Amino acid sequence: MELNEIRKKLKKELDKGRYEHTKGVMYTAGCLAMAHEYSMEKAMLAGLLHDCAKCIPNDQKIEMCEKKHILINPVEYKSPYLLHAKLGAFLAETVYEVSDPQILHAIKVHTTGEPDMSLLDKIIYIADYIEPGRDKAENLPYIRKIAFEDLDVCMAEILHDTLAYLSSRGGSIDATTKMTYDFYRQYRK
Ligand code: DGI
Ligand code: FE
Ligand code: FE
Ligand code: FE
């Protein structure tokens, strides 16, 4: 699919706020790619598509995953919004015709992360958290600054704050999120 066609389709599939967020992540991922010497085009395409499955109703997310044999773990059954990452990677490949495995992988792990992520995985995970439309998280000024200096330190900060937020809310934590933090906590300053 051509880039303009992807944008047009996403504008239809996403609600207004999510489409604005998507553009924010796309441009922020492009900037992080510049700072860390990665392909700007690939980072922007991954950013554009990262939440492509976000606005599918939760029961439909589960149904689609079951039908496509995408494994769903107990935490994902409890919090089906988590599935938008795996399902997003699937749709990026099958509907939006992206074949680049680095891009598909970055979409797949953008919510929980995973231990020892690739450069593009980290760019998308971080861009998602720091894009200009985000304003709720504490500590954002420091996290935004460090994002352009050290991606591993930045991952450690975001994961620390996300886990603190999730446990304060009593949300169930996915095993991968925990493993990701255990991997990156060594970089925390
Ligand atoms: O889709 P976005 O909102 O742009 O961002 P995202 O895909 O990174 O999702 C962020 C939300 O996911 C945030 O509220 C924290 C939550 N999250 C991350 N890891 C886990 C989690 N929620 C649960 N229940 N369990 C997790 O392990
Ligand atoms: Fe997301
Ligand atoms: Fe995220
Ligand atoms: Fe997002």
Residue 66 phi, psi (nearest 5): -60, -45
Contact 155, 126 (CB under 8 A): yes
Q: Tally the C-alpha atoms within 13 A of residue 54's C-alpha that lie toward its C-beta.
A: 20
Distance CA 55, CA 53 (A): 6
- Token pair for 139: 């500590």
To test the pocket of ligand 1, the residue of 82, 114, 128, 131 to mutate (highest count of ligand atoms within 8 Å of its CB) is 82
Can you give the pLDDT at residue 189?
A: 85
Tell whether ipTM is more than 0.85.
yes
* 3-134: CATH topology: Hypothetical protein af1432 (1.10.3210)
Cα 110 to middle of ligand 3, angstroms = 5
Can you give the pLDDT at residue 88?
A: 98
Indicate the domain borders of the chain: 3-134
Neighbours of 155 (CB within 10 A): 27
Cα 165 to middle of ligand 3, angstroms = 13
171, pLDDT greater than 90: no
Mean pLDDT of 173-178: 96
Distance CA 60, CA 63 (A): 5
- Token pair for 188: 């925390």
Ligand 1 atom 22 nearest Cα: 173
> For 87-108, how does the pLDDT look when each residue is reduced to its tens digit (9 = 90+)?
999 999 999 999 999 999 999 9
> For 4-54, how does the pLDDT look when each residue is reduced to its tens digit (9 = 90+)?
999 999 999 999 999 999 999 999 999 999 999 999 999 999 999 999 999
